[in-house]
Chain A
Amino acid sequence: GAVVSQHPSRVICKSGTSVKIECRSLDFQATTMFWYRQFPKQSLMLMATSNEGSKATYEQGVEKDKFLINHASLTLSTLTVTSAHPEDSSFYICSAKGVTDTQYFGPGTRLTVL
């Protein structure tokens, strides 16, 4: 099946710094990429949807200036958590969709903000 990678898999940073997470579709062109956040013992929550070459659409309650999303190519989307704080510590997962409705999920990135 299709493969989606995320980098890094784990990151620990100090409060106030910015962290960039990459999501790549390795063997297909992803016209749409999704970013999710998952807190412990909770389900995934959609943060934003990004289409290649256009601005991301953010879900209600998600600050677009804090969670910057760039989808500059058909195989790469990035999520930058700006001025990270401990409450941003979470598991961030991306998924990618090509021409079909099937979403392929990345392995996730665990962010810990000290």
Chain B
Amino acid sequence: KNEVEQSPQNLTAQEGEFITINCSYSVGISALHWLQQHPGGGIVSLFMLSSGKKKHGRLIATINIQEKHSSLHITASHPRDSAVYICAVNTGKLIFGQGTTLQVKP
């Protein structure tokens, strides 16, 4: 079993929909990252969380340390949100989930 599990693996949504991507982990961590990878490959760091909730524009990330679970929400999704979203946990080094491929259709 992977130390970091994301769900779903693939997600197709219509523009405007509310999207949730989940991440569960089984190791002790100091922080959790949500990353966005576009088709060209470059990676952008969206959030780093160690507790609670963070919001940036239409993106919201939450983490429950006791349950070892985090969620990334996208409100009012847009086709430009189409990308791979990756959860990574910091155990001293980063361990990555397999990613969630999101496609938002107009």
Contacts and interface: CB of A to CB of B under 8 A. Distances in A.
Interface of A: 1, 34, 38, 42-46, 49, 91, 93, 95, 101-108, 110
A107 B41 contact: yes
A105 B86 CA distance: 13
Contact of A105 (B31, B35, B93, B99): B35
Interface of B: 30-31, 33, 35, 40-45, 48, 86, 88, 90, 93-94, 96-99
Given A42-B98, A44-B86, A44-B96, 9 more contacts: A49-B93, A93-B41, A95-B94, A101-B31, A102-B48, A105-B35, A105-B42, A107-B41, A107-B42
Interface of B is mostly: strand
A58 B44 CA distance: 24
A48 to B, nearest CB: 10
A34 B88 CA distance: 14
Interface of A is mostly: strand
A42 B101 CA distance: 11
A34 B94 contact: yes
Going nearest first, the 4 A-B pairs with the smallest beta carbon separation are A107-B42, A105-B43, A108-B41, A43-B96
Contacts of A1: 45
Nearest to A107: B42
Given A34-B94, A44-B96, A49-B93, A103 B33 contact: yes
